[in-house]
Amino acid sequence: MLTASVLLSMSACGPNTDGGSNAQHDMPTITNGTVKPGSGKMADSIAVLAKQELEQRQVSGFQREILQRTVESGSMSASDYENAWGMMKRCIVDRGYPRFAPKKTANGIYSFAFGGRDGSDENTPRFAEVHSDCQEEYVDVVSIIYNVQVGNPNLYADNAEAAVDCLHRENVVPKNYKIERFRAAQGSDKDLGFDPFTPEAQNCLVPNNFEMFDATKPED
């Protein structure tokens, strides 16, 4: 089992519920549309969620077109998602970081986590600013919708509930694995009860905004 060497951390990306443009750490229940308070769902569907994001966020023109297509078709295409991340990578490379290469899960989700992979460049305030600017222009809201579509098909409002549901579906954890154990490991050195670094586990954790760090290993 993985114990003290592993830290489970939330990444800063999630649906917005207050009309602002900043990414959120949690996915609280969104009560617009037909979803009732306390229902535990973000929305009735991906199309409704995309519409909510369009109405509640300041979305760049590039992303707005993708979200409008999502509303019309009922889902976001993998090609739209890949194109958005291609633009994100080009934006960062063009601003002086040619080695930028975000990690990607086996089920096609890019990670927002960065730092250390390419040496010291990614550990500077300037890189963080560049990353934030490019993310806001090309992928922040697009990634919210696509991540939910892939990793949280039941549209749970709670990140942990969505992640554990996925871990069960992917047979990463046994049926009797409880969400309380998962929650207890967040930001701590407690035993998760499974290896979070397998491709199957990453397919569930990254889309639901959880990043894993092994404190015993030096940065690459």
Report if residue 118 sits inside a domain. yes
> What residues contact residue 2 under an 8 Å CB cut-off, 6+ apart?
191, 192, 194, 195, 196
190: left (phi over 0), alpha (psi -120 to 50) or beta: beta
- Please give the model's pTM, rounded to 2 decimal places: 0.82
Give me the pLDDT at residue 120, please.
54
Give me the pLDDT at residue 28, please.
29
Distance between alpha carbon 44 and the CA centroid of its chain, in Å?
A: 19
Report if residue 156 sits inside a domain. yes
Q: Half-sphere exposure (CA, 13 Å, Cβ side) for 114? A: 24
Structure token digits, residue 181: 């154990």
Report if residue 151 sits inside a domain. yes
Report if residue 25 sits inside a domain. no
Report if residue 26 sits inside a domain. no
Distance between alpha carbon 111 and the CA centroid of its chain, in Å?
A: 7
Report if residue 219 sits inside a domain. no
User: pLDDT of the chain along its 220 residues, tens only?
Assistant: 433 234 455 555 555 434 333 333 333 222 223 333 344 899 999 999 999 999 999 999 999 999 999 999 999 999 999 999 999 999 999 999 998 999 999 999 999 887 554 455 777 899 999 999 999 999 999 999 999 999 999 999 999 999 999 999 999 999 999 999 999 988 777 889 999 999 999 999 999 999 865 544 544 4
Report if residue 127 sits inside a domain. yes
Give me the pLDDT at residue 105, please.
95
Q: Which domain holds residue 44?
A: 6-18+31-214
Number of domains in the chain: 1
Report if residue 24 sits inside a domain. no
